[in-house]
Amino acid sequence: MAKLKDSLQNMMRRREADMESGREPASDYDTLLSDYQELQRMFEDQAQLINALQRDSGADPLTSLANHRTLGAELERSLATARRYGRRHGLILLRIVDFTNLSNQLGEAATDAILRHMASLIRQNIRPTDIAAHPHFGEFAIILNELRAVENATQRAEEICAIAASTPCVVGGRSLHCMVVHGLTVFGQDDEATDILARTRKALADAAPAGSVLSS
């Protein structure tokens, strides 16, 4: 608001200076166009500032889950715990099947609704000690801290995929079921973050598609 006030005051001063110097004041059309362009620049600056603040916050603005940078930092933190206490953790990557094509078919509003729906399901089905993230388009990640057994991680990943498939997202009167595949890596004190991500991403790539988003 302060910047807007300053801008309007500058415009008024320029007009007064034109009149005092004997120059012909700008036409109403020119004045309105100039004012519009100035306001447009201000709004663009504000949008860039908001985007920068959202990036720095560590949260994905659409889903409110951790973004890719925060995921990396949390993975390093889990590794530090593993090295200090000899504990084991897990990383799950989840991908909505054929999501790019589905997004093109359904449009932006439906795409955003599906991503928020998935984020909500994940948030409701993890422990307080786990970390959920939306690092990439159509992809989610979960850091499972303090694993008791490898089987627990596999079970958790399969449960979330099953919940996603059985819980519809209602968009514009349509019921959309998200089919999800997963990749999983259990890691400990001898692992490195880049290797963990690479292994989990390979496991995700090797996962057989389970279906697509169906409407009913």
Residue 177: pLDDT band (50, 70, 90) is confident
Give 81-91 pLDDT, tens digit per residue: 999 988 899 99
Identify the pLDDT of residue 102.
83
Q: What 3-state class would DSSP assign to 123?
A: helix
The pTM of the full predicted model, rounded to 2 decimals, is: 0.71
Q: Which residues pair with 143 in a beta bridge?
A: 91, 131
Residue 112, classified by CB atoms within 10 Å of its CB into exposed (0-12), middle (13-18) or buried (19+), is middle
Q: Would you list the domain boundaries of the chain? A: 2-57, 68-215
Residue 56 has pLDDT above 80, yes or no: no
Partners of 91 in the beta sheet? Answer: 143, 185
- CATH code at 68-215: 3.30.70.270
Q: Give the residue ranges of DSSP H helices in 86-107.
A: 99-106
Q: Using CB atoms within 10 Å of the CB of residue 114, give its burial: 0 to 12 exposed, 13 to 18 middle, 19+ buried.
A: buried
